[in-house]
Amino acid sequence: MTTESSSLIKLEGVTKVFLTDEVETHALSGIHMEIFKGEFVSIAGPSGCGKSTLLSILGLLDTPTDGTYYLNGRPVHGLTLPERARIRNREIGFIFQSFNLIGDLTVYENVELPLTYRGMPAAERKQRVTEALEKVGMGHRAKHLPSQLSGGQQQRVAVARALAGSPAVLLADEPTGNLDSKNGDAVMELLHNLHKAGSTIVMVTHDARFARHSERTIHVFDGRVVEEQVESDPTR
């Protein structure tokens, strides 16, 4: 059972305002949210509702205009840029809609690169990369370039890259957005299995069909949380 002490992410009154040509755009308004270790949570809502801005803040890619964000019980608003980068590299795994693989690196090298930035020894990098690629069913493609893979395979490699660092949380931004329905279903099944194995996952989606794979869905509209929905039996 989830307990208060296992809280991984906590937002208190988080607001994000963008200023452009002296016009204020309120992307997020007073967001209160708590996500626990081992949960699979979807953040759902229409385009432009603020869900990707919210995910950027959770991933330390952006900062709130107001409010407090706690990650693993620590407030992150006072962190320096190098400290934020270090936490992103070690504690947060990103899965993007557009895969964001480097075209002239092999599958193996793409997964290995974030570990290289950590200064991790070569033997440990090899073990982690190999295990991550096997976990997503892409071990046999380690020497291929991204251009030699289908979209579904590229997204599996992106998931492996996120997994290899053993992050505290996986943040997935529309991970099925560039995939056909068959590959989208396969990636969702992969995320479902990773969650069953213990991963904490926060996924942004506008597709209610994919949101049902999670245990809980946080609905966002016009920068505010308008509803939370608990799935009694998350779909496979």
The pair of three-digit structure tokens given for residue 2, joined into one six-digit string: 């989830």
Task: List Cα–Cα distances, 236 to 184, 194, 195, 203, 214, in angstroms.
Answer: 13, 12, 11, 15, 9
pLDDT, one tens digit per residue, over 129-169 is 999 999 999 999 999 999 999 999 999 999 999 999 999 99
- How high does pLDDT run on average in the chain? 91
Q: CA 40, CA 8: separation in Å to the nearest integer?
A: 12
On whether the CB atoms of residues 157 and 99 are closer than 8 A, the answer is yes
Structure tokens at 163: 């997994």
What the chain holds in terms of domains, given with CATH numbers, is 39-52+81-230 (3.40.50.300)
pLDDT of residue 210: 87
Could you tell me the CA-to-CA distances from 8 to 44, 92, 99 in Å, in that order? 20, 11, 25
What whole-number distance in Å separates Cα of residue 7 and Cα of residue 66? 21
DSSP 206: S
**What separation in angstroms does the CA of 217 have from each of 25, 41, 50, 211, 220?**
25, 6, 15, 7, 10
Q: What's the pLDDT tens digit per position in 33-74?
A: 999 999 999 999 988 899 999 999 999 999 999 999 999 999
Using left for φ > 0, alpha for ψ between -120 and 50, and beta otherwise, residue 114 falls in alpha
Q: List residues bridging with 227 in a β-sheet.
A: 219
Residues above pLDDT 70, as percent of the chain: 95
Which residues sit opposite 228 in a β-bridge? 218
Q: Which helix (H) or strand (E) holds 92?
A: strand 92-95
Intra-chain end-to-end CA distance of the chain, in Å:
21
Give the global pTM. Answer: 0.89
Encoding tokens for residue 16?
Answer: 């994000």
* pLDDT given for residue 51 in this prediction: 93
HSE of 10, CA atoms in CB hemisphere, 13 A: 12
